Amino acid sequence: MIPKNHPRYESLMTRELIVDGVEKGITSIHGLIAQGRGEAFDYLLGEKTTESALNAEKAAAAALLLAKKPVISVNGNVAALVPEDIIKLSGLVDAPLEVNLFHRTEERVNNILRHLRSLGAKNLCTKSDAQIPALSHERGKVDSDGIFSADVVLVPLEDGDRCKALVDMGKTVIAIDLNPLSRTAQCASITIVDNITRAVPNISGFAEELKNSKKNALLKLVDEFDNRKNLSDAVNEVLAHLASYKY
């Protein structure tokens, strides 16, 4: 039991969700390492959503609303940390959820699908009948009606080479990654440097705000978004946070 008045209560509870995910066969044991890495980067950001993250989250919402065929990729960490939030976003932007795992086992794919369904997810891509070209990894197995043919893919907590392979297929890739220097962050079309626990609700908030906007207004948001500049702003926000820190 973690007492509510513990100064690190929220962070520790988030960690518990990942541990629980591992115990339930949803999250990979490697997910614990990914979470630790994410926590370290979140400290550097001040554990808050920065201006650059908000910019990216708004552009992401616009890109998802504009998409002809958006898909949201779900892995073991996403399913443990933000299952309800990701289901809500899926409904708001009409994007199916597709389980795509780095450490893939059929058992874990099915556990995650069952977990998502038990929380009300209905729009799911469940086949693995297509292969992402030039990705000779289990992660290359995708649904021909899902990630394979999507025009916009949201890939939270990614490991790099799939992001590049999806961009090479001509897709708009939205990544959520607390590490602005990761290969995923560097190669995505829109990179959100924020904790997934804050980023997904924020994208949903923007999707609700923008859903009645004219197509031109959404296009302008996406066209004016400059990922390289935004990544550089994210790094500068980390530096500013460190410089303002009271040692």
State the minimum distance, in angstroms, from the CB of residue 215 to ligand PTJ. 30
Total residues binding ligand PTJ (CB under 6 A): 24
What's the 3-state SS for the chain? CCCCCCCCHHHHHHHHHHHHHHHCCCCCCHHHHHHHHHHHHHHHHCCCCCHHHHHHHHHHHHHHHHCCCEEEEECHHHHHHCHHHHHHHHHHCCCCEEECCCCCCHHHHHHHHHHHHHCCCCCEECCCCEECCCCCCHHHEECCCCHHHCCEEEEECCCCHHHHHHHHCCCEEEEECCCCCCHHHHHCCEEECCCHHHHHHHHHHHHHHHCCCCHHHHHHHHHHCCHHHHHHHHHHHHHHHHHHCCC
**Can residue 38 be called a binding residue for ligand PTJ (CB under 6 A)?**
yes
Residue closer to ligand PTJ (CB basis): 78 or 221: 78
State the minimum distance, in angstroms, from the CB of residue 76 to ligand PTJ. 3
Out of 182, 202, 204, 230, the only residue in the binding site for ligand PTJ (CB under 6 A) is: 182
**Can residue 241 be called a binding residue for ligand PTJ (CB under 6 A)?**
no
Q: Which stretch binds ligand PTJ (CB under 6 A): 1-9, 72-80, 209-217, 232-240?
A: 72-80
**Can residue 183 be called a binding residue for ligand PTJ (CB under 6 A)?**
no
State the minimum distance, in angstroms, from the CB of residue 207 to ligand PTJ. 19
Q: Which stretch binds ligand PTJ (CB under 6 A): 95-103, 144-152, 206-214, 228-236?
A: 95-103
Where along the sequence are the contacts to ligand PTJ (CB under 6 A)? 28, 30-31, 34-35, 37-38, 41, 75-77, 81, 101-103, 157, 159, 176-179, 182, 195-196
